[in-house]
Amino acid sequence: MLTIVSDLLLTDAFLIKGQVENKYTRLSQLLDECRKFFIKIKDATLIDLNSRDRIHTPLLHVNLDEVLLAHELIETAGDPHAAKLAGDGVQYQRVRAFYTGNLNVEIAGHVRPRSYEVDDRSTRRFFVMRNPEVRGMKTEGDRDLELLKGLSYAILNKTRLSYIYDFNESA
């Protein structure tokens, strides 16, 4: 059976591949606007970050509070949302974001100024980082985990961030 993967979710324990059920818009908007505790992932594959074992299941419920990072595997060449982001006139700023806990990971990239703050008027729970560099976890040798390298963008969960180093703010 052919499984179409369109979405990636990273938690402390797993990289989850599958399709978000009933996705009516871009993943970043869906995650940010979702008012449920759980989202459903169809045809899910869970890759254990330590053992690299795989679990396949037809339907998985994922608690949004567990999501560190998300990404939508789509072609963006004809995407009006991507075009809007590219030409939005906003000066993106370089930051380093750190998650600590079971998985200590750093994600460095470019974000809208202060988009990680609770008072950001454009986002609620999640925000987008352009050209993220994921560090602190072993991805080499696993084709699924290597997907986390070279992403054009990542959707980050504000509530899971432990530390932010904003290169543009002075003391």
Provide the pLDDT for residue 120: 73
pLDDT of residue 87: 54
Q: What is the pLDDT of residue 170?
A: 58
Q: Which pLDDT score, from 0 to 100, does residue 117 have? A: 82
CA atoms of 171 and 169, how far apart (whole Å): 7
Give me the residues of the chain with pLDDT under 70, please: 1-5, 75-88, 170-171
pLDDT at 76: 56
Fold of 7-166: SH3 type barrels. (2.30.30)
Strand arrangement of the beta sheet that strand 14-20 belongs to: 54-63, 38-48, 14-20, 7-10, 69-72, 153-157, 126-135, 105-111, 93-99, 163-166
